[in-house]
Amino acid sequence: MNREELNKEFYDNKTGARKPVKPLRKLSRIDQKTKIIPEYQGLHESPSIDISIGDEDKNRRHEQQTYYGKHEKGSEKHLYNQDIPKKKSSKKDVLVKITSVVLSIAAIITLCLNMPILWYKKSGQPDERVSILTYFKRWQPTIEIEGELDQPTIELKVDTEIVNEDFTDGLDLPQLIEGQYTVLFLGFDEELENTDVIWICQFDIAGGKLHILQVPRDCSMIYYTSNPTTKINSVYACGDPEVSKIQRVVNCVQDCFGIQIDAYITTACFDIRNIVDLVGGIPMTIDNEIMYEADKIIPAGDPVILNGDQAEWFVRFRHDWLQGDIGRVQNQRRFMRAAMQKILSIVKDEGRPKLYNYLYTIYKNKWIATNMSIEDLSKLADFGSVLDMDSVMVNMVPGEDADYYINSEDFYSIYSIHKRATIDMLNEYFRPYQTPMLYTESNIVEFVDEWNYSYDDYDDTGATFTELENATEPPRSTNYN
């Protein structure tokens, strides 16, 4: 409708006056059941059309499908639930789902274990934030027993022609000298005061070897102990009061033998029992019956599986040996070899995880004290488990029996070290990455003049574990029955 038509409808053509508007008709109530099409009300409004459906059609369609929205409630099922059967999950699908869940959990755990969330503190080193896994690897559960070692104050004298910038042994350990890692092993008596077993175990990592130096407990170390006997086994209890007990022995070893100590392991005689029983005993050949005491007897046999008690008696027995403590030291070599063979058999027959489990149990029960972490000890165990018997050599400190007089009448029986022979042996076997040690660089004190030696039977006692395979017991004294 145009403007002119609107004027004709609402205005009189003659007078121009507005026509009266007709009143709206009265609205009638519409039944709710009745649906009508609404009238068009505005120029720009779209009509809203509701197409009504008959009751029969509506009911029929409602029976076919009833849809409930995401947030709507209803008791009727969807059409697709009625018409389409559920697919049963196969065993393969279930396995895939379980595997996915397990892998997801493992990934989350691995992520958490490797997140740097813990502070790691170690004496002499800056604090750093590490992961739970790294913290566990560096864990030193028995460090509080003996404490940490001080840094050596003597010159290391590293052979730079061998240990250059490119030199590495391939094993990441906290070493003083690259290529080697040296552990001082001490075995205590019942009172936990005297170190009757002293072994220096040097792992030549770059060379794939292990050298063990046995130090007789009667070696005289007059500058390192206040005990009147002057014996090295008293250094731990009677040494320099300014340092820790373990540091006293370490300082003595470093100053006299020129061997830098990276770590230590200490254990008591009664802990040896527990360790041997843990691994199921140590097989050995016992040539003749050993009577440690009247009711403590090791029977002869080949082999005899030594239990914990018998192992302790074996390594401590000295009464019937003709050479006394030296005989005990020589017999301990046989035990070392048997223990090494046992470790190799554990790895071969039970696997490395079993060996690690044994180490963890030893740590947990504190049957040893050490400044080594679980990771360090595991690495050394791995290294040792691949060595063959020809790669392991054991030496004893050269020397001879002597008497140390504290006055004109009183004296103690000691072991006087043969200094020159000892230094020659150390340079040959225990300084692979250092320059040779000079005679004047050792604090060894001889009580028998070099020109008056009674014998030199112990100046060259080196033997590999292969050579010790058929070794027999030391000579017995003449009063042995």
Q: What pLDDT is stored for residue 86 in this prediction? A: 58
51-78: average pLDDT: 51
Q: Is the dihedral of CA 161, 167, 171, 174 positive or negative?
A: positive
Residue among 336, 304, 329 at smallest CA distance from 401: 329
343: buried, middle or exposed (CB in 10 Å: 19+, 13-18, 0-12)? middle
Q: With 90 as the cut, is the pLDDT of residue 177 above it?
A: yes
Q: What pLDDT is stored for residue 8 in this prediction? A: 57
Fold of 139-464: Aminopeptidase (3.40.630)
| Percent of the chain at pLDDT exceeding 70 | 73
Range with the largest mean pLDDT of 66-80, 201-215, 347-361, 364-378? 201-215
Q: What pLDDT is stored for residue 92 in this prediction? A: 75
Please, which residues bridge with residue 185 across strands? 199, 265
**23 pLDDT band (50/70/90 cuts)?**
low
Cα distances (angstroms) measured from residue 269 to each of 17, 150, 205: 131, 27, 29
**172 pLDDT band (50/70/90 cuts)?**
confident
Nearest-angstrom CA–CA distance, 290 and 319: 10
Residue range 260-315, pLDDT digits in tens: 999 999 999 889 999 999 999 999 999 999 999 989 999 999 999 999 999 999 99
Convert 15-38 into a string of H (helix), E (strand) and C (coil): CCCECCCCCCCCCCCCCCCCCCCC
350-364: average pLDDT: 89
Q: With 50 as the cut, is the pLDDT of residue 79 above it?
A: no
What is the chain's mean pLDDT, rounded? 83
Residue among 260, 262, 253 at smallest CA distance from 443: 253
Q: Is the link from the previous residue into 398 a cis peptide, with omega within 30 of 0?
A: no
Q: What pLDDT is stored for residue 102 in this prediction? A: 79
More confident: 135 or 20 = 20
Q: What pLDDT is stored for residue 276 in this prediction? A: 96
CB under 8 Å to 39, separation ≥6 — which residues?
A: 47
Phi/psi for 266 (5° steps) reads -120, 150
Residue range 240-258, pLDDT digits in tens: 999 999 999 999 999 999 9
414 membership: H or E segment, kind and range = strand 411-417
Q: What pLDDT is stored for residue 170 in this prediction? A: 87
More confident: 27 or 238 = 238
Nearest-angstrom CA–CA distance, 130 and 118: 5
Q: Is the dihedral of CA 119, 122, 125, 131 positive or negative?
A: negative
Beta strands 392-396 and 209-214, pairing class: parallel
364-378: average pLDDT: 90
103 membership: H or E segment, kind and range = helix 91-113
* 383-421 per-residue burial string, b: 16 or more CB within 10 A, e: under 16: bbeebebebbbbbbbbbbbbebeeeeeeebebbbbbbeb
Predicted TM-score (pTM) of this structure: 0.74
**463 pLDDT band (50/70/90 cuts)?**
very high
* 29-68 per-residue burial string, b: 16 or more CB within 10 A, e: under 16: eeeeeeeeeeeeeeeeeeeeeeeeeeeeeeeeeeeeeeee
